[in-house]
Structure 1
């Protein structure tokens, strides 16, 4: 099954209501898909995390190294690309590009063997994944507290029993926001906070200690991802479990972070960590270092499907014999993205707080090409 062609698809949509995290402003939704063709007619799909233009340039540079390769040689292809491009970066865009290619190859492998990708990854511990709502960004031009409470009230009405909000907009404002949200949600709904590395260790600890009575499930990306020592110090100076890892890449980068005892909860993203191949290896590191794996998810239906297959194979730790294995919650982005689900034929819909892992061949999704054309930039 030889690779004959690689196509990238740019997706873009300008937002009528821009929003902000602590580290960036979102004026549009921007994503890049990878389509790999083989000589037997099979086609596989992947997605890259991060800047679509940079990812596209790297994938085009990688394409000559892929044409003619056997698409089932997933591990050799991964290592070949990493070795050739490691001098351009052992993290970031280089790994984002490899991730999209790797996911497409796993999709192809499932289609070739006529089984779901999770089966090839070792088998599913679970096929229904509980979700949490990701939102709570700062809406541009709106009052922070008012718009935030209106949004989380809607999540409560919709039946979500776990919500993550964004912080990193100033110590006093964040403390007020977190306390207001907890009061709005009540005590039964889980609450997580994500600073998108908007603080240093001193102010992150100030926020965490001030809201320690709000029953926060985790404090995500409190400081910059490069500052491993700050993560380690924060675990000693505040009581909330720390989470991070969406911008740590490959087994080597994540192993170093875990060796330095930075987090209680690791959040690799299959579209950025190195694809499903690398994500599977990182599960072993989680076992060795004794941290939970609760993956980060951000993207289109392709990213959602790939992440669901990864969630399916995360082993319960400790094992729970005789019961349904516990599952890490699935990050279910609630921000506006009109093509998130429209580009796949059968949307991944929420059912009583759960998403079902696709059971078709490969990732189990079918792409709607008309939607790719509709949301192509300048279309």
Structure 2
């Protein structure tokens, strides 16, 4: 099964209501998809986390190395690409591009063997995944707390049993926002906070200590990802479990972070950590270092599908009957690509998402929808 062609697809959609995290302003939703064609007619789909233009440049640079390769040689292809482009970066766009390619190869492998990708990766511990709502960004031009409460009230009505909100907009405002959300949700719904590395460790500790009575499940990306020592300090200066890792790409980047005792919960993203191949290796690191794996998810239906297959193979830890599944991050911000580009969109069912059971990733792409969101030339 030889690779004959790689095609990239840029998707963009201008937002009517721009929003922001502590580190980024979103005026549009932008994603990069890719498809790998083989000489037997099979096509595999992948997606890259991060800047679509930069990722596209790396994929185009990698493409000549892939043409003619056996698409089932997933591990040899991964290492060949990493070794070739190592000097251009061991994280960031290099690994984002490899991630998208790797996901497409696993999609192809499942289609070739006529089984779900998770089956090829060792089998599923679960095929129904409890989801949590990611939202709570700051809507530009609206009152922060009022708009936040309107939003999270909707998640409660939809049946979400866990909600994650964005912080990093100033200590006083964040503390007031968190307390208001906890009061709105009540005590039965889990609450997580994500600073998108908007603080140093001093202010992050101030926030955490002031909301310690709000029963926060985790405090995500409190500081910049490079500040491993700050993560370590925060584990001793405040009581909330720390989470992070969506930009600690590859086994090497994550191993160094875990060696320095940075987090209680690791959040690799299959579209950025190195694809499904690398994500599976990182499960071993989680086991060795004794941290929970609760993956980061952000993207289109392709990212959702690949992430659901990864969730399926995460082993229960500890391996006892009372150990539950990690919750699936289900982004609720406006994103037409989340549902429109596939024939069967992912929908919440009593708080759960179902892992696709078709061949490969188990999704069917609507090319007309992809074309609709192509950037205007």
Report the TM-score when normalising by structure 1.
0.99
**Who is 1:345 aligned against?**
343
- Match of 1:119? 119
Q: Which residue of 2 aligns with 1:233?
A: 233
Equivalent residue for 2:80? 80
Is it true that 1:109 corresponds to 2:109 in the alignment?
A: yes
1:376 to 354, 374, 377: 374
1:157 CA displacement? 1.2
SS in 2 for 1:341: helix
Q: In the TM superposition, what are the counterparts of 1:303-314 in structure 2 within 5 Å?
A: 303-314=303-314
Q: Tell me what 1:258 maps to.
A: 258
Distance in structure 1 (CA, Å) of the matches to 2:216 and 2:324:
20
Partners of 1:309 and 1:338 in 2: how far apart?
A: 22
Q: Does 2:35 correspond to 1:30?
A: no
Partner of 1:354: 352
1:214-225 paired onto structure 2 within 5 Å: 214-225=214-225
Q: Deviation of residue 350 (structure 1)?
A: 1.0
Distance in 2 (CA, whole Å) between partners of 1:205 and 1:20 is 22
| Residues in 1 aligned to 2:157 and 2:7: alpha-carbon distance in whole angstroms | 41
1:168: which partner in 2? 168
Superposition misfits of 4+ residues, deviation over 2 angstroms: none
Number of the residue aligned with 2:324: 326
Question: Which whole-Å CA distance do the structure 1 matches of 2:320 and 2:123 have between them?
Answer: 17
- The Cα shift of 1:159 comes to 1.2
Partner of 1:361, secondary structure, is coil
- Between the aligned partners of 1:105 and 1:161, the Cα distance in structure 2 is 34
What is the match of residue 99 of structure 1? 99
Partner of 1:159: 159
Q: Which residue of 1 aligns with 2:299?
A: 299
Residue 147 of structure 2 is matched in structure 1 by 147
**Deviation, structure 1 residue 339:** 2.0
CA distance in 2, matches of 1:339, 1:288: 37
Q: Distance in 2 between matches of 1:146 and 1:72?
A: 52
Partner of 2:15: helix, strand, or coil?
strand
Alignment partners' CA distance in 1, 2:341 and 2:330: 17
Question: Which residue of 2 is the match for residue 181 of structure 1?
Answer: 181
CA RMSD of aligned residues (A): 0.7
Alignment partner for residue 333 of structure 2, among 332, 335, 338? 335
Q: Distance in 2 between matches of 1:124 and 1:34?
A: 26
Match of 1:270 in 2: 270
Where does structure 1 lack aligned partners over 5 or more consecutive residues? Answer: none
Spell out, residue by residue over 1:311-355, the C-alpha distance to the aligned partner (whole angstroms, 9 max, x if none): 00000001125x7x6210000000001121110111111110000
Partner of 2:34, secondary structure, is strand
Give the superposition deviation at 1:373: 0.5
1:107-135, Cα deviation, whole Å (9 max, x unpaired)? 00000000000000000000000000000
Q: TM-score, normalised by structure 2?
A: 0.99
Note the residue ranges of structure 2 that are not aligned, 5 or more in a row: none
CA distance in 1, matches of 2:159, 2:129: 15
How far apart, CA to CA, are the structure 2 residues paired with 1:156 and 1:120? 36
- 1:135-166 Cα offsets, whole Å, 9 max, x none, are 00000000001100110111111111100000
SS in 2 for 1:136: coil
Question: Structure 1: how far apart are the matches of 2:253 and 2:159?
Answer: 37
